[in-house]
């Protein structure tokens, strides 16, 4: 098994996209390339999504058990201008943006998940906010797919 630190050249064929209860989940057996693709995004990327923060959630568990696993990262990413457009129509959108992407390494590979913005804003029923949220979700999913 490879780790997050060692690239797997066959990762391109191992990404499967699933939609389950409003969450977009990407499962992959590759490690480094996918994580690099997700967390390496900057404001210079054409889609305008940038990383704001990265939290190593697995660090607490690794310190407790004295091992190098689990590896769990939470990435906070988005675009302030996109957030502004959603908040204009649904002020509560500010509590969901920027989005959080969870990357965790398990025995069967890397799992990546995030709750879609559309799933958060759908209950409000505002078509303009949902249009912006849909565009944001497409940008996030594009980053995930490009990382494969």
The answer to whether residue 29 sits within a structural domain is yes
Distance CA 80, CA 92 (A): 15
The phi and psi torsions of 130 (rounded to 5 degrees) equal -65, -35
Q: What is the pLDDT of residue 11?
A: 35
Question: What residue numbers bound the domain in which 37 lies?
Answer: 11-146
Contact call for residues 60 and 88 (beta carbons, < 8 A): no
Distance CA 105, CA 42 (A): 23
The answer to whether residue 15 sits within a structural domain is yes
Distance CA 19, CA 116 (A): 10
Q: What is the pLDDT of residue 145?
A: 74
With a cut of 70, which residues of the chain have pLDDT below it? 1-46, 147-148
The answer to whether residue 3 sits within a structural domain is no
- At 49-66, the pLDDT tens digits run 888 888 989 888 888 988
Give the chain's domain count. Answer: 1
The terminus-to-terminus CA distance of the chain in angstroms comes to: 17
Maximum Cα–Cα distance across the chain: 49
Residue with tokens 């959630």: 57
pTM for the whole structure: 0.68
Tokens describing residue 92: 């509560």
- At 119-140, the pLDDT tens digits run 999 999 999 999 999 999 999 8
């Amino acid at each position: 098994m490879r780790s997050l630190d060692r690239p797997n050249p066959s990762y391109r064929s191992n990404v499967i996209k699933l939609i389950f209860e409003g969450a977009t989940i990407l499962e992959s057996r590759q490690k480094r390339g996918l994580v690099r693709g997700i967390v390496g995004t900057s404001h210079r990327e054409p889609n305008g999504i940038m990383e704001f923060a990265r939290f190593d959630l697995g660090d607490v568990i690794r310190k407790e058990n004295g091992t190098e696993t689990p590896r769990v990262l939470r990435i906070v990413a988005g675009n302030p201008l996109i957030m502004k457009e959603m908040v204009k129509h649904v002020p509560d959108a500010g509590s969901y943006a920027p989005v959080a992407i969870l990357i965790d390494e398990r025995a069967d590979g890397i799992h990546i998940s995030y709750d879609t913005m559309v799933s958060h804003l759908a209950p409000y029923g505002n078509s303009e906010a949902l249009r912006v949220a849909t565009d944001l979700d497409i940008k996030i999913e594009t980053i995930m797919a490009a990382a494969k």
